[in-house]
Structures are given as C-alpha cells and as structure tokens.
Structure 1
C-alpha cells in the first residue's frame, strides 16, 4: 500500500539476516486426557466448571474430539489460558468497523491504547486523529504505537498534531537508525491492529486506518473497476470481557519493549466482568520468541481437524510445514477449502503463493479466488468450533519477522457466524480447477518462479 513502503521493503531484503520456521514437534503436547482449564472474570475456573463450558461449546457441533486432542496442546504453546465470559462481535469491512471503533473512542472515559501498522493522512486517518485529539483534550490518555514502515508515507506533521495535544506517539522500530531506542531491527515490523478502550473493549483484525477501506466490499458494480479502485474485503473483531486484559498486556509489553516513555497512570486493568458466553484466547507473536505462537497454534488446529478447514487469507505463501499440514488434512478426509485473492496489492506474494496451487489441488484441497475486491481478511475456522481472526497472513513474513495479533474463539455459536461469512465470500469467488490450472500460461509460471525466490522475505 504505497510506493515508499515498497522501497523500504526492498531495503529490508538487503540488510536483514536469516532465520527459519520451527518444526512443531509432537512432544510439546500434553498427554491425552490432560484437563483444559479456563479463566473467568474472577480468576481460574475449577476443572468441573471448565468441563461444563467446554461440553456446552462442543454439544451443538459435529462430533469431534478437537477439545481433547487440540486445546491442551494449544495451551502448552501459548501459555495463557482460555478465557470465559466474553462477548465477541464479528465486523466485516471498513465502514462497519470504523463506526464501531469511533463509537468506542467517543465513549472512552479513562484511556485509549491504539496499535496499528498503517495510519494514513487521508479522510479516514484525519477522522481518527480528530477523535483521538478530542478525547485527549477531555483528559482521556491516548497512547499510540505506529509502525515506522507502515506509516512511512504519512507526513510527520500528522503525528506532530497528535503529540502536540498530549497523545503519546511511539514509532515502532524507526527506519532511521539514529532514532532507534534499542538495537536497530529494520526487518521486524509491527503488523498488529489493536484498539483497547478503557481496558474493557478491544478491537483487532486485519483493518488498517486508511481510506482504501471506505467502501464496503459487497456493493453491486455496474462494470469491473480498475484494480486500484477496488473495495477492500477485511474482517475484525470487537471484544468485551475478561480477555480484554490479555490484549491490554500485549499492548503494554510492546510499549515497554520499544522503550516508550512511562505510560500515564491510568486504570489499564479495571476489574474484569462477565459480559457474555464466548470462550476466547488472545495470541500475540513476536520474532523475539523461539517460534510464532500463532503459527504453532494454527498448525495444531489444522493437525487436529477432523471434518472441515475453512481459511480465508490475503497473502498466502506457505512454508513446507504448513503446506504439508493442509495436504495431510485433505488426505485424511478433511474438507479443506481456501479462499484466496484474485487480485492483490502485493504482486510478489500473490504469485509466490500460486506456485503451490497445483500440488494443493492434486492433494484434494479446494481453492477459490475472491473476485471484485482486494481480499485482506485473515480468518480460519476448524471443524465449525475453532475460529481465529487477526492480523496474521499465511506467509513467511508474518510467521518470522512480524509482530502479529490474533484471537481464537471457541464454540459453535461464533463458528456458525464465521461459516456464514465464509459462505458469502465463497459465493463471490471462482473455483480454481486442477485441469485449468495446469494449462496456465508460461507468463504466469515465470512470475511464480520469480516470486518464489523472494517468498522468505515477503
């Protein structure tokens, strides 16, 4: 999204070192039968209370032992417990998400913590800037983390107006090494999109603050628009309940790791309250950890799938382990369906991922391409009961180099909402058929070959 960001991305390829994705070994799994424990508004729930909630979540779905075989492993990977008593709202596309976010900002009483990759100086960005400045002037402390590469095209004056109002603005891993507050880590980027209001409401997903999201993705079109005017299709979550504290901790941890100034004394962790029935886990990944928790969790979920896998993702350039997991799931009879872009704002990732279509199709994985939009969603649904929404793409950059943020939501109630959203996108997508794909042009094959050489960095 922008020429300057593309130039910096190319620079990253030159200066960055190499690392590799982990092999997720089975010995990190807890023994079969290990009880999964939940946390609630007042702390850890008993084994009996946890069992009642998990049984309720599973009772309406297709018979599966995903909870026995998967959840204990996921908890071992992530560390923090599943949290009960939450309310989760599924938000689709920019207009609906922005309305909800701005309403929450307008109602803030104590503090606003915001973390974003892109924050444009356009009509949408100015709308958010004015809303944040207004709350700061009312005595609500606003703390903002913005990624240096993601906001490269945003004028310094835009952030200066925020700082002049009293908002604390922290630039994540500055491009300029003279501004680095720790070791210069140009290749590590903050790709998270997080808004926490008063420690009680959180928003997260794939949506940046940019005018490209101003239009909804399902408006009828008389004629096919130019690619640079296509609507953007994305997904976010609005959460309330005890899990918000986990997202707040992740924001504060990033702030402190980046050596930001001391945060103003505010009520960042109000007493948690039970506000709904949803069981949620917050997952944040950073390159500083031995492996991406989101990557390991997704592999675990795919490996535990018994009936269905539904993935929608904007940037698909899988590493060998993820590729093998998808093919193995299809081989054991799981219905694996991927919705991927038909058009994109990232040419290299787009063609790098297409290199794997043929072997996935041969393995029985179904692939569809979303038409008429720039697909930017990052969602997955396993067996109708395990769902995740967040900022994580299915490419090497997200798993190795980026700070990412996802929520995992359990249960058939939310799963049915994600399935309905998936079905709508599927109806607006075209299937990729093996016979047709094998006849693709030499031009496409050359693009795939060229992009393949760069996929580690994309």
Structure 2
C-alpha cells in the first residue's frame, strides 16, 4: 500500500493507558459491524481481561472481529482465554508462532510490533500502547509512559484497508518463488471515505520487510532536514542509523532546537547503555538530551516546527528500523503539534534530567576505538540486518496452535 496523505482528519492525543484503554473499549462497545485489532503484547491481567470482555460482548451481538497478536510478544494466553473468544466467533490470528526450545522463545527477529485498532472503518487508533496493566499509572514505579493517536476522517478507511490486506497476506500461501520473495499485500477495498472530521493532513507510514523497509525512518529524516525551529523526539529505544543521526546533528548546527527525550529509568539496562554511546557525538553538535527519570519511557513520538508530528509503534533502534513490522501515523496539524509540544515541554521540565556534555566527556584510546566501532555499526547495520532470513508473514488461527510449555517474560531481549 502506498503511503498517501489524506486531509480532513481529526486527531486526538491519548496519553498512557489511563486515557487510551477507556476510549478504545468504549469504541469497541459501540461497534456495529467490524473491529480490527493488532497488538504486539496482550497479557491476561486486568487490562487484558477488560479487552477480552469488550471483544466477547461485541462478537456476541454480531460484530465481525479479527485480532492479530504476535507469537513472541503474546506467548502465554491461556487456552480458556483463547477458547472463549473463538467460540464467540472472534478470529484470533497469531503472527509467526514458533515452538520453544527448552522453554525459551526462539522467534526473536522480525516481529509484528504494530498497535492498531479500526472500528467500523470510521475510527482508528495507532500508537505504542500494548494491552497490559503496566501501561496504567497505578501500576507503580515501573508503569510505562506512552502514547496513542485516535483518528477520525478519510485516513481511517485506508488504515482499515491496510489491516485487512495484512490478514489476507498472512493467511495465503505464496505459489511461486517470486511471490515468496517479493510478495505484496493483496488489494483490499476500503470502506467509503467518510466526510471531513477535522483539519489534519495525515498518513499511515508502515515498515515491513518487503516494499517499505525504511519508510518510517525516511519520513523522520525528511522532517528533520526541513525543520527550521525545533525537532523534539521522545523515543524509548534510541540507537538509530547513521543517516538519521547526521540529520539531527546538522539540524542542531544550523540553529534548530533539537531535543531528545530518552530513557533514564529503562525497562532494559542495555537500552541506556546503547543510547549513551551516542551522547557525546550528539551533544557536541548542540543536540540537547533529556533523560526521563519518573518511570520507564515507552513512547515513540516526535514533532518538528509547529505543524509536523508523529505517533506510533516504531522505536528508533535496529529492531524497529530494520527488522520489525511497524506503523506510525504522521500528521500535519498545528493544534496537535502544539498540544504534543506542551506535553513534552512539561515532561522535560518536571520529569527529566538534562545531560550536559561535561557529564559524558571521556578521553583515551578506548573511547576513540569504541566510537569508531559504534559508528561503523551505525553506518552499515541496515544492510547487515537485511542478511537475516525474510519469511512471508505467517498468521495461524489460535485454535489450531499446539499447546506451548513453559513461559518467559516479553522484556527478555525484545523491546515492546
């Protein structure tokens, strides 16, 4: 599917699960015809059970429901949990399910990392929030800070069309070698375009391992290259490629206010270690770095100047930029940009520690050698990761899966 701008959308920022979950459950409760849902993580906790109840109620009144979960991110839903859904008519698709080896998940790479909901082709949600209780503030010090955007207007049928196409692509078996290597999502009709609901121009940008390998990163680079006043990025897992880093440095050097909000209390320690390898390189060019210290940052949002913004599932790290299947909504809307900017400014003021170049100044042969190795990796990792096997996305209906033994937590080795 081509990434096309659509005007006339209304876009609403939802901050954390506290705003997102009630809103999406309300929309599912009001659904009349169809609910399409994709998520990386669905846990069987109070949030997951609430989603389960909302989907069951909708299915029992005749709503057609397709749910896609990731085989790595959501490995431990109980048979009773899945059976209740399938018996009610919910089609639960598992992306790339794989057997475990000595109790460990082996399907680590090329995950379905998107978080999308489309209701009746009239309302959509795209963002980074999974269905788990750790996205609620009352979860405590390890509750995640995250974002979703709600969309109404002409973009929604295109998101619906995209998700339907992914379902068909995952279910069909390629018949030729060319289709196996270069398979494209089938053309799927969208619902009729609704009337304009707002003033935002918006597009759905996706990343896959076929036709759209670097589209999300490319949109970031274009926006940064064109920025004249500010570039503010809040991203949980930050270790981007060399070209994006170069655009950030160039923007700061020409006087743009470039600020990064990164994890100061990460859910995985390696995240902070990797990001800090880049600090001196960025700070020396004038980029400002703020570490979010209140709790783990899970967001993937950005803005430039006073119009462009993005919210989605894509981190700025090798997994998201070179391997995983991702989705971001990119918007041109002054009101949304202003609101997101005010929120990020408040985060930086009240919940972040600014990192100064004196905090990371280092000298010595090891530092120079480490920098050389890091930037050699950053220059070439998209090509290197491209050597990993690319398989046609495979969706399996949950009721056909063999029972898996053992369990382990999603945060072991995979960003969420």
TM-score for both structures, normalised by structure 2? 0.80
Correspondence for 2:312: 390
Is 1:171 matched up with 2:83?
no
Aligned pairs for 1:305-384 (under 5 A) are 305-384=227-306
Aligned pairs for 1:80-91 (under 5 A) are 80-91=3-14
RMSD over aligned Cα atoms: 3.0
Other structure's SS at 2:36 match: strand
Q: 1:268 to 1:126 in 2, by over 3 A?
A: farther
Correspondence for 1:279: 201
Is 1:235 matched up with 2:235?
no
Correspondence for 2:167: 255
Correspondence for 1:294: 216
Q: 1:433 to 1:186 in 2, by over 3 A?
A: closer
Distance in 2 (alpha carbons) for counterparts of 1:118 and 1:257: 21
Aligned pairs for 1:84-123 (under 5 A) are 84-123=7-46
- 1:343 shift after superposition: 1.1
Are the counterparts in 2 of residues 206 and 378 from structure 1 also a CA contact under 8 Å? yes
Q: 1:245 aligns with which of 157, 160, 165?
A: 157
Correspondence for 1:426: 348
- 1:187 shift after superposition: 2.1
Q: 1:416 to 1:326 in 2, by over 3 A?
A: same
Q: 1:259 to 1:420 in 2, by over 3 A?
A: same
Q: 1:155 aligns with which of 72, 78, 101?
A: 78
Gaps of 5+ in 1: 1-77, 178-183, 218-224
Q: 1:412 to 1:451 in 2, by over 3 A?
A: same
- 1:79 shift after superposition: 3.8
1:254-305 Cα offsets, whole Å, 9 max, x none, are 11121179xxxx9961442211121111111111226321111111111111
Other structure's SS at 1:274 match: coil
- 1:346 shift after superposition: 2.3
- 1:449 shift after superposition: 11
Equivalent residues, number: 358
Q: 1:412 to 1:105 in 2, by over 3 A?
A: same
Other structure's SS at 2:224 match: helix
- 1:350 shift after superposition: 2.5
Q: 1:350 to 1:253 in 2, by over 3 A?
A: farther
- 1:411 shift after superposition: 2.6
Other structure's SS at 1:163 match: helix
Distance in 1 (alpha carbons) for counterparts of 2:250 and 2:189: 47
1:187-221 Cα offsets, whole Å, 9 max, x none, are 2211100010011010111100001012269xxxx
Are the counterparts in 2 of residues 93 and 216 from structure 1 also a CA contact under 8 Å? no
Distance in 1 (alpha carbons) for counterparts of 2:376 and 2:172: 37
- 1:156 shift after superposition: 3.9
- 1:331 shift after superposition: 1.3
TM-score for both structures, normalised by structure 1? 0.73
Are the counterparts in 1 of residues 229 and 257 from structure 2 also a CA contact under 8 Å? yes
Distance in 1 (alpha carbons) for counterparts of 2:172 and 2:206: 19
Gaps of 5+ in 2: 101-105, 174-187, 386-413
Other structure's SS at 1:202 match: strand
Are the counterparts in 1 of residues 248 and 287 from structure 2 also a CA contact under 8 Å? yes
RCO greater where, 1 or 2, for CA within 8 Å and sep 6 or more?
2
Q: 1:117 to 1:448 in 2, by over 3 A?
A: farther
Other structure's SS at 2:66 match: strand
Q: 1:140 aligns with which of 39, 51, 63?
A: 63
Are the counterparts in 1 of residues 292 and 352 from structure 2 also a CA contact under 8 Å? yes
Correspondence for 1:409: 331
Distance in 2 (alpha carbons) for counterparts of 1:241 and 1:295: 25
1:43-82 Cα offsets, whole Å, 9 max, x none, are xxxxxxxxxxxxxxxxxxxxxxxxxxxxxxxxxxx94331
- 1:176 shift after superposition: 3.5
Distance in 2 (alpha carbons) for counterparts of 1:186 and 1:430: 33
- 1:454 shift after superposition: 9.7
- 1:146 shift after superposition: 0.5
Aligned pairs for 1:429-448 (under 5 A) are 429-438=352-361
Distance in 2 (alpha carbons) for counterparts of 1:402 and 1:344: 20
Are the counterparts in 2 of residues 310 and 336 from structure 1 also a CA contact under 8 Å? yes
- 1:367 shift after superposition: 0.1
Other structure's SS at 1:212 match: helix
Are the counterparts in 2 of residues 114 and 194 from structure 1 also a CA contact under 8 Å? yes
